[in-house]
A and B are shown apart, each in its own frame.
Chain A
């Protein structure tokens, strides 16, 4: 299916959105990725990835309520759709399937 391919960075963002539920919005996702992987990513890249995931139907979003920080501006919260969850499951099971087939040879340790 064209357009539903899940890139490496997208998968990372998607996982983070799932993990942060229900507090997943741009800056939070960026910070989480920084904390978990050490990758420092520009906020605009996160926005782009989130918007792409939205277009592909892996996540859905809505605006939150007014806040006290950031000049009272609202946040856009993202959450996984069931289709997004399924995409993550598929990716995970494909990975496991292949991982389990790695023969149990020692890699140069004897």
Chain B
């Protein structure tokens, strides 16, 4: 056998062994692994031998072999270890107390985590764009005096070009618009919401393109799909290069999937799944609209150059308006401005365009509730451990006698609270994780728990803060006890008792406030959903129609929708389960009905909403007439000239005069005549008062007379009817059947009006749900605290109870003695809660034009509720105590 050259084991592994291994074991261990290596190197390939050597070194990396640093052996470390050991023993000894503490902090923590996730999501809207700090959305205000004011955040089409040409600081502009197109071919076309954006959309906004042409994804015939939509249309996210047909206007255009993007995150205002480029503008907009400055369509976003200031750009905007709109507006009538992208989601000062705007107040209210619940949970610990101080006094005394410093004692008690919080936080985190789906379902949110660095650090930060804050007061109370009085057996100081009682009052106050607050919210929501809106809405169903593909111009499209409606109506009429059929171009539960504006004969600018219907509208919805008559299906004149107005419009246009037979006070309206007045019915949201409404079968005369026009929801007619069958599935199958035979090329979409109305108050009901959850949790936490206190009081008074029983006190007397301990605090908390609740809930209610009163009932119910909960909690333990055999309490001394 050839003598191989000497091969030594890997140096680094050897050094690693020397690094970690204890001096006393190093020689034998190193010797053994080297011996093994030498034995192996002669029989095995060197690579294998080396690998085995490394493996052996790693296997020796055990706790018992490790060097223990001398530096770690300092007094602080030893004392900390000892503190935690003592803390763990104390906590283990008082199991009930510990369980109550951990339980309440854990529940509070879970609630806090969930709510803060929701709040974080709301606050983080569109904050992830790399160039986000330089992106702005344009807004415009037109003011022509006499009430003719318009304020909007969507913008005219020529604006983007004008900005690029006139303002040097503008690096890029992006127009974002949405429209519905039929997507697909043949039978299975789907009506999809398509985003129409400038080709540089993906350069300005940060959305990840996973597959395909990421450099230039938006060519003229390109479409970008989200992963979800790639899946929907092609069954996999491997859709790049495939073809998709969109019907735009009356053309069938073939698009190619150029890229697939990651599904948009929840916290962005763009919710796009299908994106096409607007490079070929004429395809999407009429030539007139492309030039029009007073026709608003897309949202225009502006990316400023780096280091450019918004102020300097905004200062140049009036100059730009003078250049491009010199002939059309007077100075100051048309004002442009920029709103930061990150500001859009929670700023209600600007009107909403396509990007959704949330109510910042709700976010802050929820954040506060989450924090309060956590604070309540912490208070439990503080009150309970302060209460325990008498028990621990002897321990403190002995520690002081053998020389403990105050600082050391504080640290000892802080380690107890830290230990508790750490356990509670872990439990709470687990709870939050488990409850997340339930929370999402109840609150109608879609949040997830993201695990990243910042969250972990945040979490640790919360644990530390909560641990120290909760433990600080009890620690100082305990360490401040006077040595002599402690050893003589005196009671705890008066100050601590007062502090404990105030904490308890505060805690009960919060609970009562949350109970009454969520009751007020609930009753307001019930009111919103059940109040008489002035029309019949039970079991009312509506079906969206489509205009014929060849219809151009809004009025033609609406009219062709009405023609389709007649076909569908005649088929639906044959079903016995369908009653009260009619057609209208707007439905309840959608905001943004057609609004028209005109200048009346005195030059005053007037606005009203317009609803186009068939002759059966009022009768089908059971809308009451207060004067005149309803449309008559037999009368030709009703189809062309007659209009019906609501009371609000009657008061607005004619004051107290009778409007019957009259015309609207404008100059340019076509022939029309008011034939009836209907009682106000609430066609918008209950946030606002009923505004003037005109109902007509023929839109032309009205549109002719209007100088201003706005629509924010689809004006294409819908067929509605009352469904009297029993099963909801029945509607679906019935409609599917009829629809397939009538409009095989279009997608069926229908809704229940009830359901749509509920969705209108989604924000409110979400807050209400979350507040409701928080209330239940706060009741739980408060009950935990109360239970802990009862146990403590009973333990302190065990002798008193024993003696009383021996002398013949019945259970009830003892129970009421214990109740008296807490009822003062509860009554105080209740009284304080009344003005606070009253004030805060009235603030909230003032958001609604129609609202309930914060009545006496709310306070009565919440008072009774909180008192009975307290009674139950206290009795749970007190009854047991008062029934126990007094001998047990008295024989030990």
Contact = CB atoms under 8 A, between A and B. Distances in A.
Interface of A: 25-27, 42-45, 47-48, 51, 63, 67, 69-71, 73-76
A44 B28 contact: no
A26 B56 contact: no
Contacts of B845: none
A26 B32 contact: yes
Nearest to A74: B27
14 contacts: A26-B32, A27-B36, A43-B60, A47-B28, A47-B29, A63-B27, A67-B31, A71-B30, A71-B34, A73-B27, A73-B31, A73-B34, A74-B28, A75-B32
A34 B395 CA distance: 58
B38 A69 contact: yes
Contact of B28 (A42, A71, A75): A75
B14 to A, nearest CB: 10
A75 B32 CA distance: 8
B634 interface: no
Contacts of B64: 48, 51
A26 B28 contact: yes
B51 to A, nearest CB: 14
Given A71-B31, A75-B31, A48 B36 contact: no
Interface in B9-37: 25, 27-36
Contact of A44 (B35, B38, B60): B60
A43 B62 contact: no
A103 B27 CA distance: 52
B407 interface: no
Contacts of A26: 28-29, 32
A43 B33 contact: yes
A47 B56 CA distance: 12
A70 to B, nearest CB: 4
Given A27-B36, A70-B38, A44 B31 contact: no
Overall SS of chain B's interface? helix
Interface residues of B, number: 18
A73 B14 CA distance: 14
Interface string B28-61: 1111111110100000000000000001100110
Given A42-B55, A44-B60, A63-B28, 17 more contacts: A26-B28, A27-B35, A42-B59, A43-B32, A43-B33, A43-B36, A43-B59, A43-B60, A44-B59, A47-B25, A47-B28, A70-B31, A70-B32, A70-B35, A73-B34, A74-B27, A75-B32
Given A73-B27, A76-B28, A44 B34 contact: no
Given A42-B59, A63-B27, A74-B27, A47 B35 contact: no
A53 B784 CA distance: 51
Contacts of B25: 47
Contacts of A43: 32-33, 36, 56, 59-60
Nearest to A46: B32
Contacts of A44: 56, 59-60, 62
A4 B744 CA distance: 85
A37 to B, nearest CB: 18
B662 to A, nearest CB: 102
Contacts of A73: 27-28, 30-31, 34
Contacts of B30: 71, 73
Contacts of B29: 26, 47
Interface string B115-146: 00000000000000000000000000000000
A76 B25 CA distance: 9
Contacts of A76: 28
Contacts of B31: 67, 70-71, 73-75
Contacts of A48: 62, 64
Given A26-B28, A74-B28, A76-B28, A47 B38 contact: no
Contacts of B62: 44, 48
B27 A69 contact: no
A70 B55 CA distance: 18
A70 B38 CA distance: 8
A98 B62 CA distance: 38
Nearest to B14: A71
Interface string B308-332: 0000000000000000000000000
Interface in B60-84: 60, 62, 64
Contacts of B34: 70-71, 73
| Shortest Cβ-Cβ A-B pairs, 8 listed | A73-B31, A44-B59, A76-B28, A26-B32, A70-B35, A70-B31, A44-B60, A70-B34
A51 B63 CA distance: 13
Given A42-B56, A42-B59, A47 B32 contact: yes
Nearest to B8: A71
A27 B34 CA distance: 10
B288 to A, nearest CB: 84
Nearest to A52: B64
B35 A69 contact: yes
| Most-contacted residue by chain A among B30, B31, B35, B38 (CB, 10 A) | B31
A71 to B, nearest CB: 6
Nearest to A61: B28
A99 B62 CA distance: 39
A26 to B, nearest CB: 4
Contacts of B55: 42
A74 B30 CA distance: 10
Contacts of A71: 30-31, 34
A25 B29 CA distance: 11
Nearest to A71: B34
Contacts of A74: 27-28, 31
A62 B18 CA distance: 21
Contacts of B59: 42-45
Nearest to A29: B32
Contacts of A27: 32, 35-36
Nearest to A44: B59
| Most-contacted residue by chain B among A42, A51, A69, A73 (CB, 10 A) | A73
Nearest to A50: B28
A43 B25 CA distance: 14
Nearest to B34: A70
A42 B28 CA distance: 15
| Most-contacted residue by chain B among A26, A45, A67 (CB, 10 A) | A26
Contacts of A69: 35, 38
B518 to A, nearest CB: 58
A64 B148 CA distance: 105
A79 to B, nearest CB: 15
Interface in B492-543: none
A28 to B, nearest CB: 9
Contacts of A25: 28, 32
A74 B29 CA distance: 10
A70 B64 CA distance: 23
Contacts of A70: 31-32, 34-35, 38
A60 to B, nearest CB: 15
B33 to A, nearest CB: 7
Contacts of B38: 69-70
A76 B27 CA distance: 9
Interface in B602-628: none
B18 to A, nearest CB: 12
Nearest to B58: A44
A43 B29 CA distance: 9
A47 to B, nearest CB: 7
A27 to B, nearest CB: 5
A69 to B, nearest CB: 6
A26 B25 CA distance: 12
Contacts of A42: 55-56, 59
Interface string B407-445: 000000000000000000000000000000000000000
Interface string B686-727: 000000000000000000000000000000000000000000
A56 B34 CA distance: 28
B392 to A, nearest CB: 33
A21 B239 CA distance: 74
